[in-house]
Amino acid sequence: MGKWKSLLFVMMAAMLVLAACGDDNKSTKDEDNEFGLVKKGKLTYAASGVYKPFNFEEDGELTGFDMEIGAAIAEKMGLEANPVTNPFETILQGLVANKYDAIIGSMAYTKKRAEQAAFTEPYYYSGGMIWVAKGNDEIKSPEDLKGKKIGVVSQSTYEEPAKTLSDDIQYYASDVVALQDLTIENRLDAVITADIVGFEAIDNGFEIKEVGSPLWVEQPSIAVHKDNEELRDAIDKALQEIIDDGTYEEISMKWFDRNLLDIDLEDAELLE
């Protein structure tokens, strides 16, 4: 009896402590550390590391478009680049908990995410696209997905739209695993992910194809801690500088043979 009473007491005490920790999440700023960086003199930025060709590992090193953009921005800010990886499902929580200064990991701006983090201007545009197995002639439009099993990366921008198209959603930690499941019979009917990521998988021998054209345009942006608008503005300035001096175009051409910012936004539906 006494044992259970004290157990209950400790649990309630723990809950109170947790509740008290809730919102006074002060960012760890000190005076001589500009922008309150996690590591002094370094721009520490996170990506999932499983999103080829944007951020992935080659020979044990993090590389890809996002990583090079991050390095170029850090250089303009006079900081050392310090890329780290964190699974996508917990990447925003990691930022909120001050584990790194920024997310440069192909995270698209959305209003909901903006409640938790401050976003820069988009550093590229990409389209959300439906992918199916190469031999699948049944699915020709988004409407055909009703009742079908759709694979998406959890916490990605594709999660909400997928839910409006079907009730049967399967969640993944990596786009590559989701796309691979398309090629295995009876696993998945479709995957929704970025156009560029799907084309990269096809280049690597995946037997998949796209359905129609991109459903919408997303605005991947750099996220920083919500209170840290100084850092956000400094990154925005550095981003504009690398766009103006041609560094951006050079990096984009290297990875995609085109400039990802060159896109006709006239009739596009922007995802928010």
Closer to other proteins by Cβ: residue 52 or 76: 52
Q: What are phi and psi of 165, to 5 degrees?
A: -90, -30
In whole angstroms, how far apart are CA 43 and each of 78, 146, 164?
Answer: 9, 44, 38
The answer to whether residue 155 forms part of the interface with other proteins (CB under 8 A) is no
In angstroms, the CA 94 to CA 77 distance is: 23
Figure out which of the listed residues 12, 33, 78, 90 binds other proteins, where binding follows CB under 8 A.
Answer: 90
Nearest to 106 by CA among 122, 90, 95, 94: 122
Task: Give how many residues touch other proteins by CB under 8 A.
Answer: 43
The answer to whether residue 50 forms part of the interface with other proteins (CB under 8 A) is yes
The answer to whether residue 19 forms part of the interface with other proteins (CB under 8 A) is no
In angstroms, the CA 93 to CA 108 distance is: 16
Figure out which of the listed residues 176, 215, 224, 235 binds other proteins, where binding follows CB under 8 A.
Answer: 176
Figure out which of the listed residues 32, 59, 143, 185 binds other proteins, where binding follows CB under 8 A.
Answer: 59
The answer to whether residue 177 forms part of the interface with other proteins (CB under 8 A) is yes
Q: What are phi and psi of 169, to 5 degrees?
A: -115, 135
Q: Helix, strand or coil for residue 59?
A: coil
- Tell how strand 117-122 and strand 221-225 pair up: antiparallel
Q: What angle do CA 181, 186, 187 make, to 5 degrees?
A: 30
The answer to whether residue 97 forms part of the interface with other proteins (CB under 8 A) is yes
The answer to whether residue 85 forms part of the interface with other proteins (CB under 8 A) is yes
Q: State the binding string over 232-251 for other proteins (x if CB under 8 A, else -).
A: --------------------
Q: Which residues sit at the interface with other proteins, rule CB under 8 A? A: 2-3, 6-7, 10, 18, 21, 24-26, 28, 46, 49-52, 56-61, 84-87, 89-90, 93-94, 97-99, 173-177, 180, 201, 204-206
